[in-house]
A and B are shown apart, each in its own frame.
Chain A
Amino acid sequence: MLTEATIISLIQAIILIAISPLITGLIRKFKAMMQHRIGSSIIQPYRDILKLFRKDSVISESTSWLFRLIPYICLSSMILIALMIPFMFTEIIAPYGDLIALVYLFTLYRFAMVLGGLEGGSCFGGMGSSREMMMSVLIEPALLLSIMAIAVLSGGGTDISSIPTMLCDMGFVAFCPALILAASSFIITILAENARIPFDNPSTHLELTMVHEAMLLEYSGRDLGMMELSAEMRLTIFMAMLSSLFFPWGIATTTAPLDLLMGFIVVMIKMIVIAFMIALLESSLTKSRLFKTPNLLTASFVLSLLAMVSLYIL
C-alpha cells in the first residue's frame, strides 16, 4: 500500500499547500518591482497568516451556526483539491475524484463563501456575494468546458492523473488549437476566480468596489486567517493546474530521484513564469467596471466552448 509513489505524491501535495503563501508573496513582489517599489518580503503572507491564527476573533451577533463552519469547509475543500491534482509528479495521493468532481469542489468553496457573505446581514457582504455569483455564472461553465476539453484532448477520460502522462506522450501533436484555446480561457478564469485585476481589486480602500474581500468583511482572527489561506491556496492550485494539466511537459513520470528533482525544478520555473505573467497583467491593466467584466468572461466562455467544439470537429 505504502509505495514510493504514494509517499512522493503525499510530499507533492504538502509542497503545494506549503508554497501557496509564497506564491502570493512572489506575485506581490513582482508587482512591487514593476511599480518601482521595494515591496514587502516574499514571506510576508506567512507572517500575516501566522499572526491571524494567533488572534482572538469577533463574530457578528446575527450569524448562525453555519458561519463558524465556513472557514473549515473552505479550507478543507482546498486541501482536498490539493491532494487531487498532480504538481511535479504524475501520481496523486487521492485518486477518488476526477476533473468533474474537481470543478464541483470549487463550487462548494464558492457556495460556502457566498453564504458566509450573507451571514452578517450587512450590505457589504451581500454585495460581495451578489457580484461573486454574477461572475461565477460565466466562469464556472468556462472552467468546466476548458477542463473537459483537456480531458477529451488527452483521450484519457476525466481521470486526473492520467492527463499529464497522456499529454506528454502525445508530443507536439498536443499543441493543437484546442489546447491553446482552452489554456487561454483558463488564464482568464484564473484571474476571475482569484479576485485579480481586471475583475476585482482586493487592495483598494473602498469596500464598495470589492468582490472577494467584501464577503470576508465579517471574519476576523483565526477564521479570517483560514479564509485568507484558502484563497491563497486556490490561486496556487489554479496555477498548478495550468502548469501540470495544460502544459505538463517536464513533469516527473517515474519515481527516480533525478526525474523528481527535474520535475520539481521545471514546475517551479513554470509557477514563477505564471506568477510573473499575472503580475504583469495586473500591473498593465486597471480594474474594469463591474458591468464590463461580463464581456471578458463571455470571451472566456466562448474560447473554452470553441476549444471543446474544435475537438469534435477537427
Chain B
Amino acid sequence: MLTVELYLSLLILPAILGMIVSVIPSKKGIAGNVGLLLCVISSIVGTLTYFVIGDSSYEFIVPSVVGSYYVMFDQFTRMIISISSLVFLMSVIHLARFGALNKEKYVGLTNLLFISCILAMSADCVILLLVAWELISLTTFLMSYGANETARWRYFTITHMGGLLLMGVFAAMWSVSGTYVLSEMGEISSIAGSMVSSVMIFLLFIGFGTKLGILPFHAWMPDLYAGAPIHTVTFLSTVCSNVAIMILVKGIFLWIGVPNNMYLIVLMLLLSSTTAIWGAMESLIQTEPRRILAYSSMENMALVTMCISAAMLFSQISSESLMAVMIVAAILHTINHSLFKSLMLMTVGTVEDCTGEHAIEKMGGLAKVIPMISVFALIGVLAMAAIPPLNGFVSEWLIIKTMISADVEESILRLVIPLVVAALGVCGMMAAVSYARLYGFMFLGRPRSEMVAKPKPIDKTTMFPLAILALFCIGFGVFAAPLVNELMDALCGLLGIIRDPSVDILSGSLDPLVLSAILLTIAIVMLLFSRVFKKKVKRSTTWDCGVELEEQMQYSSIGFTQPLVRVFHPFYGDKTAYTDDNEERGTYKVRFAEPFTEYFFRPLGRSVYWVAEKIGKIQTGNIQSYLGYILFTLLFVLLGARLIC
C-alpha cells in the first residue's frame, strides 16, 4: 500500500514530464520515445491502482476563488481506473512501433489525455471534473488529425454542446446543494424535487450521450473513426467511454438520486434501445472495418445506458439491490467493451498498417498470411458477438438474467422488461452478423488485392498488447464470478446499499469456468481421437465449377448483408440509381445515406443559414436605422423591466 501522495506523484508526474519532453525538438524522435516511456510508467501505476492504494482522498491546494480541488479514490473508482489504464497501457505499447505523423506531439497529447482521464474519473469537485472533461474533449479533438475536417469539426461541435449541457447540470447541482464538493452533495433530488432532478438527469444523459453516440448525436462517430489515427479512436471508444459511463452512474445514483418520474425513465430507455438497434443495423452496411466498429461502439454504449435506465426503473418499482445488480451489469459491460473494442480497433489498425488497405472489400485471406493476428481478431470478434465463454457473453448474460428475474411490482411498466429483452436479442444478433462479416471478409476467403496477399511483416511489439488484451477477454469471461463479486462490493459500498445475498445473480445458475472447461475437454478429446485414427487430408482448389477463380470471384461483403438490407429496407434510406447509357455496360449504384445526417442535421444546418440570412438583412442599414434599433431595444428592455418588477 502506498500513501496517496506517493501514488499520485507516481501517477501524474511522469505523464506531465512526458508532455513537456515531447514538445522539445530532438533528433530521430528521441523525445517521442522518452515521452512514450513516461506515459507507460504512468499507465502502469494507473493499472495497479486497485492494488496499491486503499480508499483515499487528496486535496490539491489551489489558490482559486472557490477553494481547493479534491480527488477521491473509492473502490469503485479504483477499479475503473485500473481497467482503463490497462487499456491505455496496451494502446501506448501498441503505439510505440507505429509509424505516425507528428509522433512527438501525438505522444505529448497522449500524456495529457491520460492525466485528464484520471482526473475526470477521480475528481471530487465540480470544477476539476468539468475542466478534466473539457481537456479530454480538446485533446481527443487535437489528436484526431487526419480525419476529414468536417468530421473533426462535427465532433468538436457536438462534444462541446454536450460539455455545455454538463456545465449547466453541474452548476445547477452546485447551486442547489450549496457545495462544489461532489461527495458532500447528498441526494439532490430530495432537495430539488422530482421535476428539476429529472431535467438534470436527462441533461446529464444527453451531455455524456454526445460522447457515447446516443441518437442523434452519433453523427460524428463513423467519419471520425474512419479517418483519425487508430489510437485516438481507441482512446475515444474505450477510455473516454469508461469515464463518461462512470460519471453518469455516479451522477444519477449517487449525487442526484433517482427521481420518481417514469416519463424520464421511459424516454431514456427508448432513446437507448433505439440507438442500440440503430447502431447494430447501420453496422451491417458499412464498408470499412473502422466504421463497423464505430457503429458497434455506439450499440454497446447504448446497451450500457439501457441498463442504467433499467436500473433507474428497478429502483422505483423493485428493490434497491436489484438496481445494484443492474448497475453492475452495466459497468461490467462497459469494462468488457473497453477490452474487446480496444483489441479489435488495434487489430484493425495493425492490419491497415501492414496492408495499406482500408476497405473491407479489398481484404480477405489474411488468416493465412498473418495467422497470429487472425487468432487475436477471432477472440475479439467472438467476445463482441457475445459467444460463450468470452467476456462479452458474461455481461450480456448478466443483463438478460437480471432483466427477467426482476421481481417487480404490478404496474404497466412491467411491460418494459419483455420489450427490452426483445431489443437486446435483436441488436445482439444483428451485431453478431456484422462481426461475422467483419472477421469473415477480412481474414477468410481469398485475398482481394495484391497488398493484402503479401503484407508487410508485423513487429513483435505490436503483437504483445493484442495478446494481453485477448487474454483478458478470455479471462474476464471465464473468471467472471470473482470480478462481478468485487464490482458488487464496490458499488454497494459506493451507494451505501446493504448487499442482499438473495439477489446475487451470478451465484448458481452459470459457471463460465466449468462450462468452458467442459467445452474444451470435449473438443480436445475429439481432436485427440481424430489424431489417433488419422485420415489423409488432401489440399485442393476450392470447388470452382470448372472455371478458374479470380480474386473478385467470391462473395462480396456488400452482398453478404444485402438480404438483410432488403428485409429492413425502409430504415436504411438506400438510394439506387441505374443508368444504361450504352448497350454494353450500365451502372448500378446504391448509396446509403445516414438518415440522421441527411434528414436531421442537414435541414437543421440549412434552416440556421436561412434564419441567419433573414437576420442579416437588418444588419445592412445606415446609421439612422442602427440608432433606431438601439432606441427600440432600450424601450423594450425598460418597459419589460418595469412590467416585471
Contact = CB atoms under 8 A, between A and B. Distances in A.
Pair from one complex? yes
Contacts of A313: 414-415
A218 B542 contact: yes
B564 A111 contact: no
Nearest to A103: B425
A301 B430 CA distance: 14
A80 B519 contact: yes
Nearest to A97: B515
Contacts, number: 245
A145 B422 contact: yes
Contacts of A202: none
Nearest to A140: B429
B281 to A, nearest CB: 10
A144 interface: yes
Contact of B418 (A58, A98, A312): A312
A72 B419 CA distance: 36
Interface in B405-456: 405, 414-415, 417-419, 421-422, 425-426, 428-430, 432-433, 436-437, 439-441, 443-446
Contacts of B444: 63-64, 66, 115, 118-119, 121
Interface residues of B, number: 78
Given A59-B540, A96-B510, A122-B549, A101 B522 contact: no
A111 B387 contact: yes
B397 A100 contact: yes
A123 B415 CA distance: 44
Chain B CB count within 10 A is highest, among A58, A80, A100, A217, for: A100
Majority secondary structure of chain A interface residues (helix, strand, loop or mixed):
helix
A205 to B, nearest CB: 14
B543 interface: yes
B404 A158 contact: yes
Interface stretch (B100-108, B219-227, B262-270, B555-563): B555-563
User: Taking each of B387, B440, B443, B544, which has the highest tally of chain A beta carbons within 10 Å of its own beta carbon?
Assistant: B440
Contacts of A157: 404-405, 509
Interface string A57-79: 11111111110000011011101
B371 interface: yes
B361 to A, nearest CB: 13
B3 interface: no
B306 to A, nearest CB: 15
Interface in A141-160: 141, 144-145, 148, 151-152, 157-159
Contacts of B432: 107, 111, 136, 140
A59 B445 CA distance: 13
A62 B554 CA distance: 12
Interface string A37-68: 00000000000000000111111111111100
A121 B537 contact: no
Given A65-B371, A130-B560, A148-B400, A104 B418 contact: no
B405 A141 contact: no
A179 interface: no
Interface string A70-110: 00110111011001000000000011111011001101100
A301 to B, nearest CB: 8
A64 B374 CA distance: 10
A100 B562 contact: no
B543 A79 contact: no
Contacts of B619: none
A129 B393 CA distance: 22
Interface stretch (B4-12, B70-78, B362-370): B362-370
B41 interface: no
A64 B375 CA distance: 11
A114 interface: yes
Contacts of A137: 426, 429-430, 433, 564, 567
A58 B540 contact: yes
A101 B526 contact: no
A73 B387 CA distance: 12
Given A76-B522, A218-B543, A119 B433 contact: no
A133 B435 CA distance: 11
10 contacts: A61-B539, A62-B541, A66-B444, A97-B388, A98-B510, A130-B560, A133-B436, A133-B437, A141-B425, A145-B418
Interface of A: 54-66, 72-73, 75-77, 79-80, 83, 94-98, 100-101, 104-105, 107-108, 111, 114-115, 118-127, 129-131, 133-134, 136-138, 140-141, 144-145, 148, 151-152, 157-159, 217-218, 221-222, 226, 290-291, 294, 301, 305, 308-309, 311-313
Given A58-B539, A140-B428, A144-B421, 4 more contacts: A64-B371, A107-B386, A129-B555, A291-B567
